[in-house]
Structure 1
């Protein structure tokens, strides 16, 4: 389960920790038990990859990293749509290997792929561990600015789908309803997310 500095779940039950809003000073680290899985969700450009790269040991499992590796290998004029299927296969292959190993994991999630969270929840159950949601609540303007800063955006249609999915996750978490299989949720805005420097996994008590 998360430590006192983590998502704040009580023993034996699900919980939501809301670290959003003016004057809220969140922790500098989020602590979870060894073998647990943490999924980081939010809008494209909302800061998921930035948080994972800064705070997760080893950089976590991020499809953006896979895409960048493939981009370096491909001719510059080749549209991403051409090799997108290869990127997805490589990403999910890496995810599967990590889950199969039983190692703790921090996973980038776009929010629209509910089957991915189902897969992660099933993997956590098999290993007798927990799945935790870290949800970034950013405005559409902040997310679009983030896309512009990285020089890569998504279509208006795709962005609308992401907004709908993330909004549903937020509203459910705010009312105490977590996605199926999740033990806890931590809600962050840009300020509280920027404050976090570590996502740690500590051994279970023997």
Structure 2
């Protein structure tokens, strides 16, 4: 795949018609004509930090940030997202603060997940742009977000963090919380599949664009937001 070398004239990368990234609004009759825009991949890796400082999307778009556990998704979202962000880690932290420390997470994990998806559904109903933490293994979540984006006249976009396994494991150690070997293998397979497909220009169904980030590009980002 040919990597894009010039994405913006300033410090921000706009994900929308201005720079050729498809907004893909829900247009009557589009299904009949088969005129859906082709997905777009923007590769910001291997730039030694000389990459855009911002990612801007349409006002009704949805964005999923995905990558290995420990790759820096939550850190990036906390630092850069200027609008509504829905991060399952935030939900878990709130529950961890409530329940007794002796109670294993596995026992209240279903309640955390229920609270997370309830919060996500509420955010989607607002009609505004939302950035969502995506673990990569839940394809049904991306399908749900793609349907919601189409319904509101926007587009689903994916921001994919590409870091090494060692970097991800170190990230887990730094935050003092990891996943089991079995779960990590599942995440690794899912992330590898998404990355290989994106590098070949194949994106998840309903996804209009993907931005590929390595650690340097992610550290350079200061804003993930929405126009309008």
TM-score, normalized by the shorter chain, greater than 0.5:
yes
Matches of 1:104 and 1:125, distance apart in 2: 13
Q: What's the CA shift string for 1:138-197, capped at 9, x where partnerless?
A: 111000000000000000000000000000000000000111110000000011000001
Match of 1:57 among 79, 82, 85: 82
Q: 1:6 is paired with a residue of what secondary structure?
A: strand
Equivalent residues, number = 201
| Match runs of 1:38-187 below 5 Å | 38-58=63-83, 60-187=85-212
Give the distance between the partners of 2:143 and 2:207, measured in 1 at CA: 9
Is the Cα–Cα contact under 8 Å of residues 132 and 184 in structure 1 kept in the other structure? yes
**Structure 2 alignment gaps of length 5 or more:** 1-6, 23-36
CA 1:59–1:103 in structure 2 vs 1: closer, same or farther (change >3 Å)? closer
SS in 1 for 2:14: coil
Aligned partner of 1:202 in structure 2 is 227
Structure 1 unaligned spans of 5+: none
| Aligned position for 1:32 | 57
Q: Secondary structure at the match of 1:191?
A: helix
Indicate the SS of the match to 1:106. strand
Maintained 8 Å contact 2:83/2:130: no
CA RMSD of aligned residues (A): 1.4
Describe the superposition over 1:42-88 as per-residue Cα deviations: whole angstroms up to 9, x where unpaired.
Answer: 00000000010001125610000000000000111111111101100
Q: Which TM-score applies when normalising by structure 2? A: 0.85
Other structure's SS at 1:57 match: coil
Q: Secondary structure at the match of 1:60?
A: strand
Do residues 6 (structure 1) and 6 (structure 2) align? no
Give 1:200 shift.
1.5
Alpha-carbon shift at residue 24 of structure 1 (Å): 5.7
Cα distance, 1:21 vs. partner? 1.2
Shift of 1:198: 0.4
